[in-house]
Structure 1
């Protein structure tokens, strides 16, 4: 397998943590978003959508979305299970992963890409150069606050996002929560359930990747 990574971006970090939690060592190539390497003809020959992460499997299949990479690795390396074992667990993990992507990841990305000077002209990932919209940056900040509230409510009910076990949903939620630092937001210290979950997440060796 060959993994195309970017050490500074949140989505490749999600895949990186998933790979580590599976106990795998995968050949890796760094693609610098800061240098625009994802837009190079060489990389777009691998992924025309010009996004990372990308995993190329042993048979040459190219997987260019986090959920695709996780699904493949879970099927090929089922232990430890990170996407549930029963039909109910699998559905719950998929549901919470989608929730945190939509309510957390998209919110932080909206604020960052539309508000940070480094993202001028790059308001969305991919091959198109698109202008920033300041109103979307403000909306993203409000949505990120709502995401923190959503996390706290859920974690008051469950030790992990999708139930009693650590899963892909926790990886996604942790990465998005941590990445909110780029828009100068953190979960409130008064969100006790979230702070406990963050402590447990940071205690995992993979969290430092």
Structure 2
């Protein structure tokens, strides 16, 4: 594990912080962590809002004060600094596929699961106007989203974007984790996705 100094990662509970921690674990990097407590609304405190006016985590602060927000952007920063193992693809085609599949996983699966959380969980009741009926329709849609991915992976590829583990799999991992948390596990009758799910859960980075 390579320890990095001169920067701090403000993070906490939630899928986006988890995504960055998986990325760091896959690359064998250790960054000083600053835990942000949602329960006490540290993410809305004036000092934190100076780092990210949206009041969201994660936030990477470099030693010169430069701030990087958004989990995929933070992952890309570490990819440029430490390109091996490549999580965004090793050549032009692999990069395009990693980007394509990461975006598809985010839009089709993560957004759907997130809508259930946003519109049903007590934590978000003061953040937006909740529509419980919408949450229920989204909950019903989740199995179909995983079934779509199962069909796409019927070509036998081991990972979402192809033969190599990538950012698309990391996004898939946070979908699988978040689905478990909100009682929407990956359906057991999807053989291709289930094999992928078992494969990524066996990686040490799952425990990041």
Contact residue 108 and residue 140 of structure 1 kept, 8 A: yes
Equivalence for 1:33: 38
Aligned pairs for 1:69-148 within 5 A: 69-122=74-127, 130-148=128-146
Structure 1 position 151 matched with structure 2 position 154? no
Quote how far apart the aligned CAs of 1:76 are: 0.8
Query: 1:2 matched to which residue of 2?
Result: 8
Report the CA distance between 1:119 and its aligned residue. Answer: 2.3
Gaps of 5+ in 2: 1-6
- What value does the CA root-mean-square deviation take over the aligned residues? 1.4
Deviation (angstroms), 1:82: 0.7
Which sections of structure 1, spanning at least 5 residues, go unmatched?
Answer: 123-129
Find the counterpart in structure 2 of residue 68 from structure 1. 73
Q: Distance in 2 between matches of 1:60 and 1:80?
A: 27
Match of 1:125 in 2: none
The two structures have a TM-score, normalised by structure 2, of 0.91
The separation in 2 between residues aligned to 1:146 and 1:83, in whole angstroms, is 27
| TM superposition score normalised by structure 1 | 0.91
Q: Structure 1 residue 154: deviation in Å?
A: 2.4
Q: In structure 2, what is the Cα distance between the partners aligned to 1:199 and 1:62?
A: 35
Q: 1:54 aligns with which of 31, 45, 59?
A: 59
Q: Report what 1:126 is aligned to.
A: none
CA shift, 1:37, in A, is 1.3
CA contact (8 A) 1:103 1:143 kept: no
